[in-house]
Chain A
Amino acid sequence: MLRHLKILEFAVAATLRHKGRNLAILVVYSLVITILASVLFLTRGLKEEAQRVLAGAPELTVQRLIAGRHDLIPTSYGSILASVPGVGRVTPRFWGYYYDSLTSCNFTLLGLSAGGGDHLELLAGRLPTGSGECALGSGVATARRTEIGDDLVLIDSHNLGVSFEVTGIFAAEAALLTNDLLLLPETDLRVFFNFPEGSATDFEVQVFNPQEVATVAAKIKQRLPDTRPITRSEILRTYDSVFSWRSGILLTVFASALLAFCILAWDKATGISAEEKREIGILKAVGWDTADVLELKVWEGLILSLTALLLGLIFAWVHVYWFDSTLLAPVLKGWSVLFPRLVVTPHVDLYQLFVITFLTVTPYVASTVIPSWRAASADPDSMMRS
């Protein structure tokens, strides 16, 4: 044990002898790990969030396809859907998109069928109850600088301005689901979009037994061949693959940065200087054997990589969970004008930590040890003379 500690002491001293160079490597190394870990933490967090939140999504959504594209569905399909055994409530949904030229944002408009007026935990104010009222997502409210009680003017499908009184605004915590959402009474929405009589955007279908959802979907497809039933598990699967860490341009781009770092580390390590060779030669001449020299080099590699790994993980954690991924948001944002704050619930995944450690520490330690191993096995005399 004491022997190992002495070799570590020597390794720390050797690292400190090249303070400037090692500090530069430490900074770059920590940055590389911070970016890699941030991407993994964020995508994993969003994936988990989607799984938890969308567990409340409709068990079955039925949309109509015409010429391969989503089209309005006749409300008369409702009775056919309701006649499928195992089906409970069948609700037509009215929703659509609205491009707001004033703010260059796209809003999602959703019709509220019945009820309304009730207070929700994540809603300041109340849901619209009567014609001419609306509730907004926090992103819409911010973009239009609107508050409760203000009027919101939108241009309808007849190119006429329609004014809605804002009765409620969703909390920022609900932005992940409601950021671009605008809730209107169903009748207002149908007039606003000039929905053809007897048609809806799609149907929300309740299935009594969760085990029967796939069977019910198959039966619906059989009875209404021009429809496409989308199950909740398909929605969850979609989000599972959307945020899969194994893919995505972010990691693809980052892979080249990681490769560049590996080349840098390899170049630094393989370009073993004459001074280092002499040092290895002297160590061997004074009685160190090859295993000791290799242990010294492993420690030298570990000192930098473990410090960089821990610093990188700490920075990534703070960046993703404390600063809402400020540095990554512009990349993820794409062309979205309305983009919610990326607030994700912290989630620890040992497999993920193992991946980060394996991808970063192993190449560096290997590129430090391998060239030194070659030098350490050579004759000390020739090493000192080189």
Chain B
Amino acid sequence: MSRANTFLALLLVLSLTLAGLVFFGRPEADGPPGLKDFQLRGLAARFGLTDLSLWTEARYTRHPSQSDRFSAFQDFPGSFDHFPAGSIVNPPASVPTR
């Protein structure tokens, strides 16, 4: 029965490792949890920031929420374009789908 027990022990160790990562193994963060989000929210409110600074290659990827509704070849998340991000960013929720 040793092999079965070894396998079950392996499963237990892996499960405990995963649980440990989920509950205790979070990367070190300065200050109490949620402080960074609170501070970032404060920045957004202080400067009136509307979008995340992730993709800077085009207006509609830098400010997806402020982009034009549509103009040919540009400024419309989800339209055909030459930027890879355009295929990752979905159209806004307000755009009706058929």
Contacts and interface: CB of A to CB of B under 8 A. Distances in A.
B17 A106 contact: no
A254 B78 CA distance: 19
Interface string B48-64: 11111111110101101
A61 B66 contact: yes
A108 B21 CA distance: 37
B14 A307 contact: yes
A87 interface: no
Nearest to A48: B37
Nearest to A232: B50
Contacts of A108: 53, 56, 62
Contacts of A303: 7
Contacts of B83: 334-335
A234 B88 contact: no
Contacts of A335: 57, 83-85
Contacts, number: 221
Interface in A222-248: 230, 234-235, 237-242, 244, 247-248
Nearest to A337: B56
Interface residues of B, number: 64
Nearest to B62: A108
B98 to A, nearest CB: 15
Contact of A16 (B3, B55, B57, B94): B3
Of the candidates B27, B56, B89, the one having the most CB atoms from chain A within 10 angstroms of its own CB is B56
Contacts of A176: 40, 52-54
A58 B48 contact: yes
A177 B49 contact: yes
Contact of B88 (A49, A97, A249): A249
Interface of A: 5-6, 8-9, 12-13, 16, 46, 49-50, 52-58, 61, 63, 65, 68-70, 91, 93, 97, 105-108, 110, 112, 120-122, 137, 139, 173-181, 183, 202, 204, 230, 234-235, 237-242, 244, 247-250, 303, 306-307, 310-311, 313-314, 317-318, 321-322, 331-340, 345-346, 348
Interface of B: 1, 3-4, 6-8, 10-11, 14-15, 17-18, 21-22, 25-27, 30, 33, 36-37, 39-57, 59, 61-62, 64-71, 75, 77, 83-85, 87-94
Contacts of B66: 61, 63, 70, 202, 230
Contacts of A105: 56
Given A249-B88, A322-B27, A336-B55, 17 more contacts: A8-B8, A50-B52, A55-B44, A56-B43, A57-B44, A68-B70, A97-B62, A108-B53, A121-B39, A139-B53, A178-B53, A230-B50, A234-B94, A242-B89, A334-B83, A338-B56, A340-B54
Contacts of B77: 242
A66 B14 CA distance: 59
A136 B4 CA distance: 59
B21 A177 contact: no
A8 B53 contact: no
A63 B59 CA distance: 15
A334 B55 contact: yes
30 contacts: A6-B1, A9-B4, A12-B4, A54-B52, A57-B44, A61-B50, A69-B71, A70-B66, A108-B53, A120-B42, A121-B42, A122-B43, A137-B53, A173-B39, A173-B40, A175-B53, A177-B40, A180-B62, A181-B47, A183-B47, A234-B94, A235-B51, A238-B92, A238-B93, A244-B90, A249-B88, A303-B7, A306-B11, A333-B55, A338-B53
